[in-house]
Amino acid sequence: MLSKLVSKQIINHGLRLTTRAASASAQPKLVIDRKPPVKFQKLFINNEFVDASSGSTFEVINPATGDVITEVADASEKDVDRAVKAAKDAFRLGSEWRRMDPAARGQLLYKLADLMERDRAYLAALETLNNGKPFKDSYNVDIPHCISVLRYYAGWPDKMNGKVLPVAGDFFSYTRREPVGVVGQIIPWNFPMILLCWKIGPSVATGCTTVIKLDEHTPLTGLYTAKLIEEAGFPPGVVNIISGDGPHCGASLVKHPDVHKISFTGSTQVGKLIGIEAAKLVKRTTLELGGKSPNIVFADCDLDTAVEMSHFALFFNQGQCCCAGSRTYVEEKIYDEFVQRSIERTKRRKVGDPFDESTEQGPQISHEQMDKIIDLIESGKKNGAKLLVGGKREGDKGFFVQPTLFADVEDDHRIAREEIFGPVMQILKFKTVEEVIERANDSDYGLAASVFSKDLDKSIVVSNGLRAGSVWVNTYDNFDPVAPFGGFKQSGLGREKSEYSLDSYSETKCVTIKISQRNS
Amino acid sequence: MSPLPDIEIKYTEIFINNEWHKADKGKTFPVINPSTGEVIANVEEATRTDVDKAVEAARKAFHVDSPWRTMQPADRGALMRKFAELLRRDIKYLAQLETLNNGKPVHDSMGDIGLSANCIDYYAGWVDKITGETIPAGNGHFLYTEHEPVGICGQIIPWNFPILMLAWKLGPALACGNTVILKPAEQTPLSALYCAALIKEAGFPPGVVNIVPGDGPECGNAIVVHPHVDKLAFTGSSEIGRLIQETAAKHHHYRVSLELGGKSALIICEDADLDYAAKVAHQALYFNAAQCCCAGSRTYVHAKIYDEFVAKCVELANKRVVGDPYDRNTEQGPQVSEEQFNKILGYIEAGNKEGAKLECGGKRACDKGYFIQPTVFSGVKDDMKIAREEIFGPVMSLLKYDCYEDVIKRANSSSFGLAAGIVTKDLTRALTITKRLHAGTIWINDYNTFWNQAPFGGFKQSGHGRELGSYGLEGYYEVKTVSIKLA
């Protein structure tokens, strides 16, 4: 069926996987382990796995069933302190890490990538068990992307140049790009492995040391990766990985005086709290927060592609993407046709066991998230949007929500303003280019946006007008490691991936040496 | 000398399109082991029609729809890293082969191969980091640049670092997405041909890298004049470099980068630690049997420390172990060929004739092969042949100076400008002299340290363009400016 074919091409094309491993057809039949054993449940500090100092643990749930998978160590303020001490020690002047050849840092990242490739099937199964995303996504999208991100950053360490400056006077003056120091990185639950690698990459490439706090919902793959870090040969203390909650563990990492920089990915609400705390110590802060990204479909688009990509833009990863295309603006001329085709596509979306090969959508991450989504669906009905598909919880085990579609949504509806983070699509109608740009920009968010149109001029002009960090034209969710990703306005501060990400992990030092006579 | 280890020479044919070809004209040329003077192999000799075939293959591989052109940048990088991995896998064999053909001590060959693999890895990391720019223009325009591969690259490399020079050439060319025809020196084709097999094993599409062994006048010339070669890169003597530039221009080739000779000055200042400085000077000159374009071949010594320094240099030269390059203790193997051997002896004779003082050495060493004793001349004057011309052999020239302004002038009086060195503890003096020397690379309290990320190349007649670093990429991409007018 055409749209199924288009769908597969689009998943591969849209996420721009750069490893040959992504070509599933080239591989022997994969045996999927639906019950991957959990091997690491403790905090990873100084290349060792240690219990939390209080001995306490917390439960990790399988969102497809609601059952407890295992328990992992619950890091408290004391453990954060231990981890930061380890990172600080690894960063001291004269340490193995500080003295290492830049190219050798890169080789460690290549080694880590190779180990991840070796353990791809296991990591993908563990990610699916803990997060609920379909195995075919973990295996074909998440893990390969991690590998390509690490390999991308591996090439940077010996290429980050400063400048020699044409200053006035008898001076020799130059800049050095130095690592900012000990960094604290807090990652969310929607792409546990991917975000882990988006954080490890720049920290290692620039020569920083880090303490990474995994999200309390999804610590399992991060703790396994910790073992790979040790196996790859990173010196102790360079990457420390801990599991713990936000209010105690995360907060103490943010407040810790020996952490020089914070990188946080998560909700806008928590991002603001972190920004306020970090500002007290003038801590360098980068934030990747929420979004309510507008996807603009013009009448002169390729309709097949637009329908399929718009579906993907919203529903991918159970709708749990910061950059989900969660406001689909469709030009009046093709509105009815677009809505009709979207209804058909949404009805076809297969929800079920994430280990099942035909499943497109797994459970939401938690009961709490599921409740929030249902609540917003109710608000959509209340505000008068037209509920055309789904709208309820799916089944009574696990946290599944039916693929849901609203049409005739208005900009002031809650479902058009607030981040739902679930499989709920909003379709809105527009007439003119000027109007839709204004409506698209009418948000405190500004993470991403997209344009579907065949017209060269319109694509460029509209892209230029959208206040969003990533603008996709005739595609969606392209996450090439080479391209920067980050938000305008309250969607965040700073950029991840790409060369641009290196700046936030570096400090520029200017050295000026007096010489007896300078000549140009 | 111990009997030579049994080294199998596996590849002696022309490598085009991932296949091995016999020469069209049916001729081969002998390859000599400089440790013994004996022929070790006969290699197919590529001439014009073979070069034509290679260029055609490179052209096809460069077609806009080819696997190479449509490959993701990161996959290009993966192929390059695979090649580096294979170099490391076969390092022991390759080192033996390199030493058999070039004569450098085996531990130096091992070092060269490690460096070559690192160079390829370094450039593999660039593939997805070569960016164009968007440029602010008026509101009615969208303006940007693309950095596109320049095309088919003709690369001609010398015999002094056969594998390393291959890596320095392939690295940036492949990183930018070009295709290559590479001609190794006729003295030392063997390791390049083995690398060709590794390139095929790594999985490069056919035609991306082609290796054509042959001489300069027929084979090299065919590459230089070929209308479909887009860019030329040459490392070798200044004499040939000049000829290549002229010939290229006559055939409407303007993209030419040259790494030529040198007569680099090493300035030993009065406050230098003499033992350390003597070691630096020794390495600067004698490394690789002094067959380095950037060899520190004019050692300027401050009058205050001159006598003592000369004695130390002589002591080190006398201690230098010359002999069987397969012996772990050997520091210096033979010169690469009989021609070079005779040329160097000729310079030694000139030094004697012109009145320099021969402190030690001066003759051939060993009874077979092209070995020369580590030689030191003191009392050298700037106008002597040995102070002006590139010897490319183990002949140290020590010159006296007593004024810094003067020595800088003297250092700069050469028509070459490849490298220079300064040994001093004084910060201001180091930086001031550095600013005034006309040389592409300046080492302070060091010599012959290379980094893949540091550009290398010459001022003046030592060449044009830079290799290594991000600068090394510049010759391998073409800038395209795109301006879109918006309605």
For residue A149, the domain's CATH number is 3.40.605.10
Please name the residue of chain B whose CA is at the shortest distance from the CA of residue A465.
B139
**Domain shared by A273 and A302, yes or no:** no
Per residue in A316-332, is it b (16+ CB within 10 Å) or e — as a string? bbbbbbbbbbbbbbbbe
The separation between CA A329 and the C-alpha centre of its own chain, rounded to angstroms, equals 24
Q: With contact defined as beta carbons under 8 Å apart, do A406 and A380 qualify?
A: yes
Q: Are strands A470-473 and A448-452 parallel, antiparallel or unpaired?
A: parallel
Q: For the residues of B17-68, what is the DSSP string, one character each?
A: TTEEE--TT--EEEEEETTTTEEEEEEE---HHHHHHHHHHHHHHTSTTSHH
Report chain B's C-alpha Rg in angstroms: 23
Query: Which residues of B are less than 8 Å from A457 in CB distance?
Result: 486-487
CA angle B387, B349, B461 (to 5 degrees): 30
For residue A422, the domain's CATH number is 3.40.309.10
Query: Which residues of B are less than 8 Å from A12 in CB distance?
Result: none
Long-range contacts, stretch A66-69, CB < 8 angstroms, 24+ apart: A66/A367, A66/A397, A66/A398, A66/A399, A69/A38, A69/A129, A69/A130, A69/A220
What whole-number distance in Å separates Cα of residue B219 and Cα of residue B221?
5
Domain B14-260+462-482, CATH among 3.90.1720.10, 3.40.1160.10, 3.40.228.10, 3.40.605.10:
3.40.605.10
Q: Give the C-alpha distances (Å, rounded to integers) separating A257 from A184, A249, A253, B59, B464.
A: 11, 14, 9, 59, 52
Question: A5 versus B47: which is more confidently predicted?
Answer: B47
pLDDT of the residue at A27: 55
**Domain shared by A285 and A309, yes or no:** no
Q: With contact defined as beta carbons under 8 Å apart, do A495 and A447 qualify?
A: no
Kindly report the average pLDDT of chain B as a whole number. Answer: 96
Would an 8 Å CB–CB cutoff place B453 in contact with chain A?
yes
**Domain shared by A283 and A300, yes or no:** no
CA angle B130, A17, A223 (to 5 degrees): 105
Q: With contact defined as beta carbons under 8 Å apart, do B288 and B104 qualify?
A: yes
pLDDT classification of A520: cutoffs 50, 70, 90: low
* Backbone dihedral region for residue B307 (phi beyond 0: left; psi -120 to 50: alpha; all else: beta): alpha
pLDDT of the residue at B62: 98
When pLDDT is averaged across residues A427-433 and rounded to a whole number, the result is: 98
pLDDT of the residue at A248: 95
Cβ contact B121–A103 (<8 Å): yes
Q: Say if B14-260+462-482 and B265-451 have the same CATH topology.
A: no
Handedness of CA A383, A385, A388, A392 (dihedral sign): negative
Amino acid sitting at position B454: A
B259 is catalytic: yes
Cβ contact A519–B436 (<8 Å): yes
Amino acid sitting at position B407: V
Q: Is the residue at A247 inside a domain?
A: yes
Please name the residue of chain A whose CA is at the shortest distance from the CA of residue B119.
A103
What whole-number distance in Å separates Cα of residue B214 and Cα of residue B191?
14
Tell me the pLDDT tens digit for each residue of B124-134: 999 999 999 99
When pLDDT is averaged across residues B452-457 and rounded to a whole number, the result is: 96
**Domain shared by A310 and A260, yes or no:** no
Would an 8 Å CB–CB cutoff place B486 in contact with chain A?
yes
Cβ contact B129–A18 (<8 Å): no
CB atoms under 10 Å from CB of A350, counted, come to 11
> Pick from B75, B124, B428: which is nearest to A515 by CB?
B428
What whole-number distance in Å separates Cα of residue B46 and Cα of residue A398?
70
**Which of B142, B436, B485 is the best residue to mutate to test the A interface, defined by the most A CB atoms within 10 Å of its own CB?**
B142
> Pick from B75, B435, B486: which is nearest to A518 by CB?
B435
Q: Is the residue at A440 inside a domain?
A: yes
What whole-number distance in Å separates Cα of residue B155 and Cα of residue B182?
5
pLDDT of the residue at B122: 98
What whole-number distance in Å separates Cα of residue B156 and Cα of residue B158?
7
Tell me the pLDDT tens digit for each residue of A42-60: 999 999 999 999 999 999 9
Cβ contact A460–B436 (<8 Å): no
Tell me the pLDDT tens digit for each residue of B312-332: 999 999 999 999 999 999 999
For residue A300, give how far its alpha carbon lies from the nearest alpha carbon of chain B (Å): 17
**Domain shared by A2 and A120, yes or no:** no
Tell me the pLDDT tens digit for each residue of A60-83: 999 999 999 999 999 999 999 999
pLDDT of the residue at B247: 97
CA atoms within 13 A on the CB side of B319: 10
pLDDT of the residue at A29: 72
Collapsed DSSP state (helix, strand, coil) of residue A496: strand
When pLDDT is averaged across residues B370-382 and rounded to a whole number, the result is: 98
**Which of A17, A159, A167, A204 is the best residue to mutate to test the B interface, defined by the most B CB atoms within 10 Å of its own CB?**
A159
What whole-number distance in Å separates Cα of residue B134 and Cα of residue B484?
12
CB atoms under 10 Å from CB of B250, counted, come to 10
What whole-number distance in Å separates Cα of residue A230 and Cα of residue A242?
14
Q: Is the residue at A517 inside a domain?
A: no
What whole-number distance in Å separates Cα of residue A500 and Cα of residue A190?
23
**Domain shared by A271 and A344, yes or no:** no
Closest by CA position to A471, among listed A457, A485, A482 = A485
Handedness of CA A67, A71, A72, A75 (dihedral sign): positive
**Which of B436, B453, B483, B485 is the best residue to mutate to test the A interface, defined by the most A CB atoms within 10 Å of its own CB?**
B453
Please name the residue of chain A whose CA is at the shortest distance from the CA of residue B128.
A482
What is the widest separation between alpha-carbon atoms in chain A?
81
DSSP letter at A494 equals S
Q: What is the pTM of this model?
A: 0.92
What whole-number distance in Å separates Cα of residue A427 and Cα of residue A430?
10
The domain made up of B265-451 has a fold known as Aldehyde Dehydrogenase; Chain A, domain 2 (3.40.309)
What whole-number distance in Å separates Cα of residue B340 and Cα of residue B345?
9
CB atoms under 10 Å from CB of A177, counted, come to 18
Q: With contact defined as beta carbons under 8 Å apart, do A193 and A221 qualify?
A: yes
Tell me the pLDDT tens digit for each residue of A366-390: 999 999 999 999 999 999 999 999 9
Is B487 exposed, middle or buried, given 0-12, 13-18 or 19+ CB atoms closer than 10 A? exposed
The separation between CA B20 and the C-alpha centre of its own chain, rounded to angstroms, equals 26
What whole-number distance in Å separates Cα of residue B380 and Cα of residue B348?
12
**Domain shared by A357 and A457, yes or no:** yes
Q: With contact defined as beta carbons under 8 Å apart, do B436 and B422 qualify?
A: no
Q: With contact defined as beta carbons under 8 Å apart, do A436 and A336 qualify?
A: no
Would an 8 Å CB–CB cutoff place B142 in contact with chain A?
yes
User: How many CB pairs lie under 8 A apart between chains A and B?
Assistant: 77
Whether A103 shows a pLDDT value over 80: the answer reads yes
pLDDT of the residue at B487: 79
Collapsed DSSP state (helix, strand, coil) of residue A277: helix
pLDDT of the residue at A17: 41
Tell me the pLDDT tens digit for each residue of A254-264: 999 999 999 99
What whole-number distance in Å separates Cα of residue B157 and Cα of residue B219?
12
Choosing from B13, B44, B259, B359, the catalytic residue is: B259
When pLDDT is averaged across residues B216-224 and rounded to a whole number, the result is: 98
Structure tokens at B322: 């010359």
Collapsed DSSP state (helix, strand, coil) of residue A330: strand
Is B423 exposed, middle or buried, given 0-12, 13-18 or 19+ CB atoms closer than 10 A? buried
Closest by CA position to A346, among listed A388, A394, A384 = A388
Range of the domain at A123: 42-289+495-506
When pLDDT is averaged across residues A312-327 and rounded to a whole number, the result is: 98
Whether B438 shows a pLDDT value over 80: the answer reads yes
**% of residues, chain A, pLDDT over 90:** 91
Whether B257 shows a pLDDT value over 50: the answer reads yes
**Domain shared by A390 and A331, yes or no:** yes
**Domain shared by A469 and A403, yes or no:** yes
Amino acid sitting at position B195: C
Whether B177 shows a pLDDT value over 50: the answer reads yes
Whether B256 shows a pLDDT value over 60: the answer reads yes
What whole-number distance in Å separates Cα of residue B397 and Cα of residue B377?
5
Tell me the pLDDT tens digit for each residue of B56-84: 999 999 999 999 999 999 999 999 999 99
**% of residues, chain B, pLDDT over 70:** 99
**Domain shared by A75 and A17, yes or no:** no
Q: With contact defined as beta carbons under 8 Å apart, do A157 and A506 qualify?
A: no
**Domain shared by A385 and A502, yes or no:** no
Q: With contact defined as beta carbons under 8 Å apart, do A197 and A149 qualify?
A: yes
What whole-number distance in Å separates Cα of residue A307 and Cα of residue A324?
15
Q: With contact defined as beta carbons under 8 Å apart, do A201 and A147 qualify?
A: no
Q: Is the residue at A3 inside a domain?
A: yes
The number of distinct structural domains making up chain A is 3
Please name the residue of chain A whose CA is at the shortest distance from the CA of residue B437.
A519
The DSSP element (H or E) to which A178 belongs, if any, is strand A171-179
Give domain limits for chain B.
14-260+462-482, 265-451
**Domain shared by A310 and A440, yes or no:** yes
pLDDT classification of B6: cutoffs 50, 70, 90: confident
Q: Give the C-alpha distances (Å, rounded to integers) separating B289 from A322, B190, B330, B441.
A: 62, 20, 11, 21
